[in-house]
Every structure is written in C-alpha cells, then in structure tokens.
Structure 1
Amino acid sequence: MSRRKKNIKKNILPDPKFCNIDVAKFVNILMFSGKKSLSENIIYRAFDYIKKKTGRNPLDIFFLAIENCKPLVEVKSRRIGGSSFQVPIEVRLTRRATLSMRWLRESLFKRKEKYIYHRLGQELIDASENKGFTIKKRDNIHKMAEANKTFSHFKF
C-alpha cells in the first residue's frame, strides 16, 4: 500500500457571470499574484472585445479555441541505458484542457497589442480559426512526437 497521500481534487465553483466551470479554471490560470478579480476583469473585457469584433457569442469562440489548442500527444524524457529518449505519450483529457489554457496564457505575452484584454481576445479569435501562437505550439509538440514515434515502445 502506498504511503503517499491521495491527491484530493478541488471543486472549482463556476464563474459568476457565465456560470461556467471552464471559464473559472481559465480565470485561475490567468490569475497573477492572487488577484482573481483582476483576471476576471481581463477575461470579461476580452469577451466583450470578441463580441464587438466578431459579433458572435464569445463563449462559443472560447470553447472552440480551447478545443483547437488541445494537444493529443506530448513527449516525455525517458532515460534508458545511459541515454535519454523523447517518448511520445497520449495526453489525458484533463491535462489537454489545462495545457491549452496554459499555452493561451503564455501566448499573451508574445502579442503586440497595447491592452492585455485585446491580446487575449485576439488570441482566442486566432485560436478558434486555427492560427496564432498557441496553435503553432501545439503543432510543434505534435511534430516532435511524430519524429520520435520510433521510441513509442518505451512506455512509462
């Protein structure tokens, strides 16, 4: 029997405006220095920007962007016989969503718009159209896994 504690999964309350758990998770991922109200404000202003720019429902664009950014496989280092191999493994469903949200956050700082909610709104629009920094990152991960497909028999 394992001596480690069980990992307790925390229940996240839905966000107050859209009553959605995925938006609340993205608020938590975007949060800087514990300032949750600031990250909520950024996301809601980005959703207003998306509504004004495209005329479509911002939640639909958000979910489409998250779905397009989800990686199917990733590579992990595995040390075998003194050398390291990049072994492609399939990504679990919960980790897929977490990675896509994290990559969206990272891509905000590569954009050149003046305000952060403009950056977030434009990145979500780009990701929903299968372009942008986040989609490029996902494609690079998939290419790396495809290149190292020969090491897939080294499972964890």
Structure 2
Amino acid sequence: MATEDMSISKIVVDLDDIKLFGKWSYRDVVVIDPSLKKYISLRPVIVPHTAGRHARKRFGKATVPIVERLINRLMRKAKNTGKKHLAYNIVKLAFDLIYIKTKENPLQVFVRAIENAAPREETTRIMYGGIVYHVAVDIAPMRRVDLALRHITEGAFNCSFRSAKPIEECLADEIIAAAAYDTRSYAIQRKEEIERIALSSR
C-alpha cells in the first residue's frame, strides 16, 4: 500500500473524558500558590499509578500525579508497606467522603490542603567555630509539597491509631481541615510550629 494513501487520524481526548477514579474532573482545578504550580502535577489520569517511571530522573517526582504521591505516602507505615492497592482504596474512599462532606471537587480540596499545609520557612544547622547555630532558611517548593503530604498522612494515621474511626474518614477529615486552615488539623499545627521555630531563629 502506498504511503500517500494512508491517512493518519489524530485522537483528540476531551479533558472531561479523563476523570480521577472515573469520577472527579481535572477541569477548573487550580493551584493558586505560584511557587507550587510546577510541583503539584495535575496531569489527567484515571488510575494514578506510574510504576516508578520517575525514579531515575532528576526532579522526576514533580511529574508524578499529586494523588499518586499521596497514595505512596500512605504506604510508608508498617501496616501498609508495599500495599499500593490498599492505599489506593483508602484515598478513593477518602475522596468520596470529602465530596459528601463539602460538596466540592475533592481534587480541588486536596490541592488547597497542600497549599495551606506547606511550610514556607524552617531552620538548618550551621557549625561555626565548634558552635552549632540554628538559622532560618526558605524551603524549596518541592520540599514544601513533600512536608505537606507527610504531615497530612501522619495526621490521618495518628487519628486512626487505636481508634474506632477508619483511616479513610481520618484522611478525609485531615484534608478538609487543612483546606479550611483549621488549627485542629495536624498538618496546620506542624506547619505553624516549624514556622514559629524559624521565626525565633532569625
């Protein structure tokens, strides 16, 4: 068959056709904080599972869908280690609960929670003449996202530990509280503590 007779058709996929977990649209989900826009990946995927393709790339974490990074953080605790399908189901149920409680797109609520829970300043140790000083420094945007995800998942685990409340509900409550900048949120408490220590070290 001659090559000129062959027609190449482009497949155009509408953004509304690709929904997280087959439910939540990526349309109109915005990152307000300009420093975090590059590091909160909202690339449309149905199933957030990239199988570690980013691992060998410099700053590859920034290209991983932000929901998958939350799922990966949930696998860090002893009970969930390596159980990605279990962590996936926890996040999926938590997003359903967020929608029931807020009537908003859970993806937008989660992005807002990360922006609110990401600390802007912390301290680092500097040794000068045998004496250790703690000096306040600005936090890199990627580390800000890492810390926010860590504190959100820690708050959810602390809430569900030795409690009748399931982890899905704890995670949903933690994300909603962080999105509303509620000081009862563990992630917000940790952010304010880190920034308060940094302020005193200036």
Question: How does the TM-score come out when normalised to structure 2?
Answer: 0.63
| Cα distance change, pair 43–70 in 1 and its aligned pair in 2 (3 A) | same
Which of 116, 119, 134 in structure 1 is aligned with 2:187?
Answer: 134
Question: Among 6, 16, 39, which residue is 2:46 paired with?
Answer: 16
Checking the alignment, whether the CA contact within 8 Å between 2:48 and 2:68 is kept in structure 1 is no
How far the C-alpha of 1:17 sits from its partner, in A, is 3.9
Match of 1:115 among 162, 166, 188: 166
Secondary structure at the aligned position of 1:75 is classed as strand
Q: Distance in 1 between matches of 2:148 and 2:112?
A: 11
Q: Deviation per CA, 1:20-47: give whole Å up to 9, x if none.
A: 7111111111113111111110001000
Per-residue deviation, 1:102: 0.6
Partner in structure 2 of residue 48 of structure 1: 96
Report the AA paired with residue 46 of structure 2.
P
Answer with 1 or 2: which has the greater Rg. Answer: 2
Deviation, structure 1 residue 91: 0.9
Q: 1:70 aligns with which of 114, 118, 121?
A: 118
| Gap runs ≥5 in structure 2 | 1-42, 50-63
What is the aligned-residue identity percentage? 33
How many residues align? The count is 137
User: Given residue 158 of structure 2, which amino acid in structure 1 is its aligned partner?
Assistant: K
TM-score (norm 1): 0.81
Judging changes above 3 Å, is the alpha-carbon distance between structure 1 residues 103 and 148 closer, same or farther for their aligned structure 2 residues? same
1:58 aligned partner: 106
**3-state DSSP of counterpart to 2:125:** strand
- Give the deviation of 1:142 after TM superposition: 0.5
Q: Which has the higher helix share?
A: 1
Does structure 2 retain, via aligned residues, the 8 Å contact 1:62–1:128?
yes
Residue 177 of structure 2 aligns with an amino acid whose one-letter code is: D
Distance change in 2, residues 1:119/1:15 (3 Å): farther
2:196 corresponds to 1:143: yes
Q: Which amino acid letter does the alignment assign opposite residue 91 of structure 1?
A: I
Structure 1 partner of 2:86? 38
Q: Indicate the residue corresponding to 1:154 in structure 2.
A: none
Residue by residue over 1:54-88, the C-alpha shift from the partner in whole angstroms, topping out at 9 and shown as x without a partner, is 11111110000011011111111222222211111
Give secondary structure in 2 for the equivalent of 1:16. coil
Q: Residues 18 and 54 (structure 1 numbering): CA distance in 2 closer, same or farther, change over 3 Å?
A: farther
For residue 165 of structure 2, what is the amino acid of its counterpart? K
Using CA pairs under 8 Å that are at least 6 residues apart, name the structure with larger relative contact order, 1 or 2. Answer: 1
Give the structure 1 partner of residue 148 of structure 2.
Answer: 100
